[in-house]
Amino acid sequence: MDLSGKVAVVTGAGRGLGRAYAEALAAAGAAVVVNDVDADAAAQVVEAVTGDGGRARSVVAPVGSAEVADRLVATAVKEFGRLDVMVTNAGILRDRVLWKMSDDDFDAVIDVHLRGTFTCARAAAIRMREQGSGGRLILISSPAGQRGNFGQTNYAAAKAGIVAMARTWALELARANITVNAVVPVAATEMTKTIPVFAPIIEESERTGKPFPGWLRRDEGLGTVEDVAGLVVFLASDASAEVTGQAIGIGGDRLALWSHPGEKAVAFADGGWTAGTIAASWQSGVGADPETYGIPAPKVPASDVQGV
Protein backbone atom coordinates (compact mmCIF):
# COMPACT_ATOMS: atom_id res chain seq x y z
CA MET A 1 0.00 0.00 0.00
CA ASP A 2 1.48 3.33 -1.02
CA LEU A 3 0.18 6.38 0.81
CA SER A 4 2.96 8.75 -0.28
CA GLY A 5 1.71 12.28 -0.76
CA LYS A 6 -1.23 11.70 1.60
CA VAL A 7 -1.64 13.47 4.93
CA ALA A 8 -3.42 11.90 7.90
CA VAL A 9 -4.53 12.99 11.36
CA VAL A 10 -4.81 10.30 14.05
CA THR A 11 -6.40 11.33 17.35
CA GLY A 12 -5.34 9.59 20.56
CA ALA A 13 -2.20 8.40 18.79
CA GLY A 14 0.18 8.50 21.78
CA ARG A 15 -0.23 4.82 22.63
CA GLY A 16 -2.25 1.70 21.95
CA LEU A 17 -4.20 1.38 18.73
CA GLY A 18 -3.82 5.04 17.74
CA ARG A 19 -0.05 4.77 17.87
CA ALA A 20 -0.17 1.63 15.70
CA TYR A 21 -2.39 3.44 13.17
CA ALA A 22 -0.07 6.46 13.05
CA GLU A 23 3.03 4.31 12.63
CA ALA A 24 1.45 2.08 9.98
CA LEU A 25 0.15 5.07 7.99
CA ALA A 26 3.58 6.70 8.17
CA ALA A 27 5.31 3.45 7.19
CA ALA A 28 3.08 3.37 4.11
CA GLY A 29 4.27 6.87 3.20
CA ALA A 30 1.68 9.23 4.70
CA ALA A 31 2.62 12.31 6.72
CA VAL A 32 0.89 12.09 10.09
CA VAL A 33 -0.40 14.55 12.68
CA VAL A 34 -0.13 12.69 15.99
CA ASN A 35 -2.67 13.94 18.51
CA ASP A 36 -2.86 13.02 22.19
CA VAL A 37 -3.41 14.58 25.61
CA ASP A 38 -0.17 12.95 26.78
CA ALA A 39 2.67 15.17 25.50
CA ASP A 40 5.47 12.66 26.22
CA ALA A 41 3.63 9.83 24.49
CA ALA A 42 2.89 11.96 21.42
CA ALA A 43 6.53 13.12 21.26
CA GLN A 44 7.73 9.50 21.40
CA VAL A 45 5.51 8.56 18.46
CA VAL A 46 6.74 11.52 16.41
CA GLU A 47 10.31 10.51 17.25
CA ALA A 48 9.69 6.88 16.26
CA VAL A 49 8.10 7.89 12.95
CA THR A 50 10.75 10.45 12.01
CA GLY A 51 13.49 8.06 13.18
CA ASP A 52 12.19 5.60 10.60
CA GLY A 53 12.35 8.25 7.89
CA GLY A 54 8.67 9.25 8.08
CA ARG A 55 7.02 12.64 8.54
CA ALA A 56 5.06 13.48 11.70
CA ARG A 57 4.08 16.42 13.97
CA SER A 58 2.31 16.28 17.29
CA VAL A 59 -0.64 18.29 18.54
CA VAL A 60 -1.12 17.92 22.28
CA ALA A 61 -4.76 18.76 23.02
CA PRO A 62 -7.95 17.08 24.24
CA VAL A 63 -10.19 16.04 21.37
CA GLY A 64 -13.83 17.03 21.86
CA SER A 65 -14.18 20.72 21.07
CA ALA A 66 -14.45 22.35 17.65
CA GLU A 67 -11.35 24.42 18.48
CA VAL A 68 -9.15 21.35 18.91
CA ALA A 69 -10.59 19.75 15.75
CA ASP A 70 -9.81 22.93 13.79
CA ARG A 71 -6.27 22.95 15.21
CA LEU A 72 -5.67 19.38 14.05
CA VAL A 73 -6.77 20.14 10.50
CA ALA A 74 -4.89 23.46 10.47
CA THR A 75 -1.70 21.69 11.58
CA ALA A 76 -2.01 19.10 8.81
CA VAL A 77 -2.43 21.88 6.25
CA LYS A 78 0.30 24.15 7.66
CA GLU A 79 2.90 21.42 8.14
CA PHE A 80 2.13 19.12 5.22
CA GLY A 81 -0.01 21.15 2.82
CA ARG A 82 -3.27 19.19 2.84
CA LEU A 83 -5.49 16.64 4.58
CA ASP A 84 -6.55 13.29 3.13
CA VAL A 85 -7.34 11.03 6.07
CA MET A 86 -8.93 11.65 9.48
CA VAL A 87 -8.81 8.78 11.99
CA THR A 88 -10.95 9.54 15.06
CA ASN A 89 -9.49 7.16 17.61
CA ALA A 90 -9.09 9.10 20.89
CA GLY A 91 -11.01 7.51 23.70
CA ILE A 92 -11.51 6.96 27.41
CA LEU A 93 -13.59 4.66 29.59
CA ARG A 94 -15.66 5.58 32.65
CA ASP A 95 -17.43 2.26 33.28
CA ARG A 96 -20.27 2.11 35.84
CA VAL A 97 -23.63 0.35 35.90
CA LEU A 98 -26.50 2.65 34.99
CA TRP A 99 -27.64 3.37 38.55
CA LYS A 100 -24.14 4.37 39.62
CA MET A 101 -23.15 6.33 36.52
CA SER A 102 -22.74 10.04 37.24
CA ASP A 103 -23.49 12.85 34.81
CA ASP A 104 -19.73 13.48 34.68
CA ASP A 105 -19.00 9.83 33.74
CA PHE A 106 -21.57 10.06 30.97
CA ASP A 107 -20.52 13.46 29.65
CA ALA A 108 -16.76 12.75 29.70
CA VAL A 109 -17.11 9.67 27.49
CA ILE A 110 -19.66 11.24 25.15
CA ASP A 111 -17.45 14.33 24.83
CA VAL A 112 -14.28 12.52 23.73
CA HIS A 113 -15.82 9.74 21.62
CA LEU A 114 -19.04 11.11 20.15
CA ARG A 115 -18.46 14.87 20.10
CA GLY A 116 -14.76 14.37 19.31
CA THR A 117 -15.64 12.21 16.32
CA PHE A 118 -18.25 14.75 15.18
CA THR A 119 -16.01 17.83 15.52
CA CYS A 120 -12.93 16.21 13.96
CA ALA A 121 -14.90 14.67 11.08
CA ARG A 122 -16.70 17.97 10.42
CA ALA A 123 -13.45 19.96 10.33
CA ALA A 124 -11.90 17.33 8.05
CA ALA A 125 -14.93 17.20 5.73
CA ILE A 126 -14.89 20.99 5.32
CA ARG A 127 -11.21 20.92 4.36
CA MET A 128 -11.53 17.85 2.09
CA ARG A 129 -14.51 19.37 0.25
CA GLU A 130 -12.49 22.57 -0.32
CA GLN A 131 -9.57 20.54 -1.67
CA GLY A 132 -11.96 18.77 -4.06
CA SER A 133 -9.94 15.56 -4.30
CA GLY A 134 -11.90 13.26 -2.00
CA GLY A 135 -10.77 11.89 1.32
CA ARG A 136 -11.18 9.29 4.03
CA LEU A 137 -12.96 9.51 7.37
CA ILE A 138 -12.08 6.46 9.46
CA LEU A 139 -14.12 6.41 12.66
CA ILE A 140 -13.38 4.07 15.53
CA SER A 141 -16.32 2.20 17.04
CA SER A 142 -16.41 -0.88 19.29
CA PRO A 143 -18.22 -4.21 19.72
CA ALA A 144 -19.86 -2.56 22.76
CA GLY A 145 -21.57 -0.09 20.44
CA GLN A 146 -22.89 -2.89 18.24
CA ARG A 147 -24.16 -5.16 21.00
CA GLY A 148 -24.31 -3.19 24.27
CA ASN A 149 -22.02 -4.10 27.15
CA PHE A 150 -22.46 -4.38 30.91
CA GLY A 151 -21.28 -1.21 32.68
CA GLN A 152 -20.84 0.78 29.49
CA THR A 153 -23.94 2.97 29.08
CA ASN A 154 -21.85 5.98 28.03
CA TYR A 155 -19.34 4.10 25.88
CA ALA A 156 -21.88 1.85 24.10
CA ALA A 157 -24.06 4.88 23.32
CA ALA A 158 -21.09 6.82 21.92
CA LYS A 159 -19.78 3.89 19.88
CA ALA A 160 -23.23 3.05 18.44
CA GLY A 161 -23.67 6.72 17.59
CA ILE A 162 -20.33 6.71 15.78
CA VAL A 163 -21.51 3.92 13.43
CA ALA A 164 -24.76 5.80 12.83
CA MET A 165 -22.74 8.92 11.97
CA ALA A 166 -20.54 6.89 9.58
CA ARG A 167 -23.64 5.68 7.70
CA THR A 168 -25.06 9.22 7.63
CA TRP A 169 -21.84 10.87 6.45
CA ALA A 170 -21.28 8.14 3.81
CA LEU A 171 -24.50 9.42 2.23
CA GLU A 172 -23.71 13.10 2.66
CA LEU A 173 -20.10 12.96 1.46
CA ALA A 174 -20.43 10.48 -1.43
CA ARG A 175 -20.56 13.24 -4.06
CA ALA A 176 -17.31 14.67 -2.72
CA ASN A 177 -15.63 11.23 -3.03
CA ILE A 178 -15.06 11.14 0.70
CA THR A 179 -15.55 7.62 2.06
CA VAL A 180 -16.65 7.14 5.65
CA ASN A 181 -16.27 3.84 7.48
CA ALA A 182 -16.31 2.67 11.07
CA VAL A 183 -13.68 0.26 12.37
CA VAL A 184 -14.76 -2.13 15.13
CA PRO A 185 -11.39 -3.15 16.60
CA VAL A 186 -10.30 -5.54 19.32
CA ALA A 187 -6.70 -5.56 20.55
CA ALA A 188 -4.60 -5.91 23.64
CA THR A 189 -4.05 -2.41 25.03
CA GLU A 190 -4.16 -0.58 28.36
CA MET A 191 -7.91 -0.32 27.69
CA THR A 192 -8.56 -4.06 27.20
CA LYS A 193 -6.32 -4.85 30.16
CA THR A 194 -9.16 -3.47 32.27
CA ILE A 195 -11.39 -6.40 31.14
CA PRO A 196 -10.96 -9.06 33.87
CA VAL A 197 -11.17 -12.12 31.59
CA PHE A 198 -8.44 -10.82 29.25
CA ALA A 199 -6.14 -9.13 31.81
CA PRO A 200 -4.18 -12.22 32.98
CA ILE A 201 -3.66 -13.49 29.42
CA ILE A 202 -2.42 -10.13 28.16
CA GLU A 203 -0.15 -9.70 31.20
CA GLU A 204 1.29 -13.20 30.81
CA SER A 205 2.03 -12.57 27.15
CA GLU A 206 3.73 -9.26 28.02
CA ARG A 207 5.79 -10.96 30.75
CA THR A 208 6.87 -14.03 28.80
CA GLY A 209 6.75 -12.77 25.21
CA LYS A 210 4.53 -15.75 24.37
CA PRO A 211 2.03 -15.09 21.56
CA PHE A 212 -1.66 -15.09 22.44
CA PRO A 213 -3.35 -18.51 22.27
CA GLY A 214 -4.94 -19.37 18.92
CA TRP A 215 -8.52 -19.44 20.33
CA LEU A 216 -8.10 -15.86 21.58
CA ARG A 217 -6.93 -14.63 18.17
CA ARG A 218 -9.59 -16.53 16.18
CA ASP A 219 -12.69 -16.80 18.39
CA GLU A 220 -12.37 -13.57 20.37
CA GLY A 221 -10.51 -11.73 17.62
CA LEU A 222 -8.05 -10.39 20.20
CA GLY A 223 -4.48 -9.86 19.09
CA THR A 224 -1.97 -7.05 18.95
CA VAL A 225 -2.53 -3.44 17.91
CA GLU A 226 -0.51 -4.14 14.76
CA ASP A 227 -3.13 -6.73 13.77
CA VAL A 228 -5.69 -3.91 13.50
CA ALA A 229 -3.54 -1.30 11.73
CA GLY A 230 -3.68 -2.98 8.30
CA LEU A 231 -7.40 -2.22 8.04
CA VAL A 232 -6.82 1.48 8.71
CA VAL A 233 -4.09 1.60 6.04
CA PHE A 234 -6.42 -0.17 3.58
CA LEU A 235 -9.25 2.27 4.33
CA ALA A 236 -6.84 5.20 3.92
CA SER A 237 -5.65 3.94 0.54
CA ASP A 238 -6.94 4.25 -3.02
CA ALA A 239 -7.68 0.49 -2.90
CA SER A 240 -10.75 1.19 -0.70
CA ALA A 241 -12.28 3.88 -2.95
CA GLU A 242 -15.52 1.89 -3.30
CA VAL A 243 -15.82 1.02 0.41
CA THR A 244 -18.08 3.40 2.32
CA GLY A 245 -20.80 3.33 4.97
CA GLN A 246 -19.47 0.07 6.43
CA ALA A 247 -18.72 -1.08 9.97
CA ILE A 248 -15.73 -3.41 9.72
CA GLY A 249 -14.51 -5.59 12.55
CA ILE A 250 -10.86 -6.59 12.97
CA GLY A 251 -8.68 -8.15 15.64
CA GLY A 252 -6.27 -11.07 15.98
CA ASP A 253 -6.93 -13.38 13.02
CA ARG A 254 -10.47 -12.04 12.34
CA LEU A 255 -11.76 -9.60 9.72
CA ALA A 256 -15.53 -9.13 9.75
CA LEU A 257 -18.31 -7.09 8.24
CA TRP A 258 -20.92 -6.04 10.80
CA SER A 259 -24.48 -6.15 9.49
CA HIS A 260 -26.57 -3.04 9.03
CA PRO A 261 -29.52 -3.13 11.43
CA GLY A 262 -32.68 -4.02 9.52
CA GLU A 263 -36.13 -5.46 10.15
CA LYS A 264 -35.71 -9.15 10.91
CA ALA A 265 -39.36 -10.17 11.32
CA VAL A 266 -42.45 -8.26 10.21
CA ALA A 267 -46.16 -8.89 10.76
CA PHE A 268 -49.17 -6.94 9.56
CA ALA A 269 -52.61 -6.26 11.07
CA ASP A 270 -55.21 -4.58 8.92
CA GLY A 271 -56.04 -1.22 10.51
CA GLY A 272 -53.00 -1.37 12.84
CA TRP A 273 -51.97 -2.99 16.11
CA THR A 274 -53.27 -2.66 19.67
CA ALA A 275 -51.49 -3.66 22.90
CA GLY A 276 -53.83 -6.65 23.06
CA THR A 277 -53.17 -7.93 19.52
CA ILE A 278 -49.41 -7.44 19.98
CA ALA A 279 -49.54 -9.44 23.24
CA ALA A 280 -51.60 -12.21 21.64
CA SER A 281 -49.27 -12.64 18.66
CA TRP A 282 -45.87 -11.76 20.16
CA GLN A 283 -44.54 -15.24 21.02
CA SER A 284 -45.50 -16.84 17.72
CA GLY A 285 -45.06 -13.67 15.65
CA VAL A 286 -42.27 -11.09 15.44
CA GLY A 287 -41.02 -12.00 18.94
CA ALA A 288 -40.60 -15.72 18.13
CA ASP A 289 -36.83 -15.47 17.62
CA PRO A 290 -35.67 -12.47 19.66
CA GLU A 291 -32.31 -10.84 19.07
CA THR A 292 -29.42 -11.43 21.47
CA TYR A 293 -27.89 -8.49 23.32
CA GLY A 294 -24.55 -7.94 25.02
CA ILE A 295 -21.08 -9.15 24.00
CA PRO A 296 -21.07 -12.95 24.44
CA ALA A 297 -18.78 -14.10 27.28
CA PRO A 298 -15.50 -15.52 25.94
CA LYS A 299 -15.37 -19.32 25.76
CA VAL A 300 -12.06 -19.98 27.46
CA PRO A 301 -10.70 -23.51 26.75
CA ALA A 302 -10.18 -25.61 29.88
CA SER A 303 -6.41 -25.60 29.28
CA ASP A 304 -6.35 -21.80 29.66
CA VAL A 305 -8.79 -21.49 32.56
CA GLN A 306 -5.90 -21.52 35.06
CA GLY A 307 -4.59 -18.28 33.64
CA VAL A 308 -8.02 -16.70 33.74
Ligand X SMILES: NC(=O)c1ccc[n+]([C@@H]2O[C@H](COP(=O)([O-])OP(=O)(O)OC[C@H]3O[C@@H](n4cnc5c(N)ncnc54)[C@H](O)[C@@H]3O)[C@@H](O)[C@H]2O)c1
Question: Mind telling me the catalytic residues?
Answer: 155
Please work out the total of residues on this chain that contact ligand X, with binding judged by CB under 6 A: 29
Is residue 41 involved in binding ligand X (CB under 6 A)? yes
The residue type at 304: D
In whole angstroms, what is the distance from residue 241 CA to residue 237 CA? 7
Is residue 135 involved in binding ligand X (CB under 6 A)? no
Cβ contact 38:12 at 8 Å:
no
Residues 6+ apart with CB under 8 A from 142: 155, 156, 159, 184, 185
Is residue 186 involved in binding ligand X (CB under 6 A)? yes
Which residue from 142, 149, 153, 181 is in contact with ligand X, where contact means CB under 6 A? 142
The distance of Cα 224 from the centroid of its chain, to the nearest Å, equals 15
Q: Which is nearer to ligand X, 99 or 293 (CB)?
A: 293
Name the closest residue to ligand X (Cβ).
16
Is residue 101 involved in binding ligand X (CB under 6 A)? no
Q: Which is nearer to ligand X, 44 or 131 (CB)?
A: 44
Cβ contact 87:62 at 8 Å:
no
Residues 101, 107, 108: CA angle, nearest 5 degrees: 95
Is residue 11 involved in binding ligand X (CB under 6 A)? yes
Residues 10, 16, 22: CA angle, nearest 5 degrees: 30
Which residue from 18, 54, 221, 252 is in contact with ligand X, where contact means CB under 6 A? 18
In whole angstroms, what is the distance from residue 258 CA to residue 249 CA? 7
Residues 6+ apart with CB under 8 A from 196: none
Question: Minimum CB separation from ligand X for residue 119, in Å?
Answer: 11
Question: Minimum CB separation from ligand X for residue 41, in Å?
Answer: 6
Specify the stretch interacting with ligand X by CB under 6 A; choose among 90-98, 120-128, 253-261, 271-279: 90-98
Binding characters for ligand X, 106-125, by CB under 6 A (x = yes): ------x-------------
Q: Which 3 state secondary structure label does DSSP give 201?
A: helix
Specify the stretch interacting with ligand X by CB under 6 A; choose among 10-18, 79-87, 122-130, 167-175: 10-18
Is residue 37 involved in binding ligand X (CB under 6 A)? yes
Is residue 223 involved in binding ligand X (CB under 6 A)? no
Binding characters for ligand X, 247-266, by CB under 6 A (x = yes): --------------------
Is residue 298 involved in binding ligand X (CB under 6 A)? no
Question: What Cα–Cα distance (Å) separates residue 283 from each residue in 163, 268, 276, 305?
Answer: 31, 15, 13, 38
Question: Minimum CB separation from ligand X for residue 203, in Å?
Answer: 15
Which residue from 161, 185, 213, 252 is in contact with ligand X, where contact means CB under 6 A? 185
In sequence order, what are the beta bridge partners of 183? 140, 248
In whole angstroms, what is the distance from residue 36 CA to residue 59 CA? 7
State the residues that interact with ligand X by CB under 6 A.
11-12, 14-18, 35-38, 41, 62-64, 89-92, 112, 140, 142, 185-187, 189-192
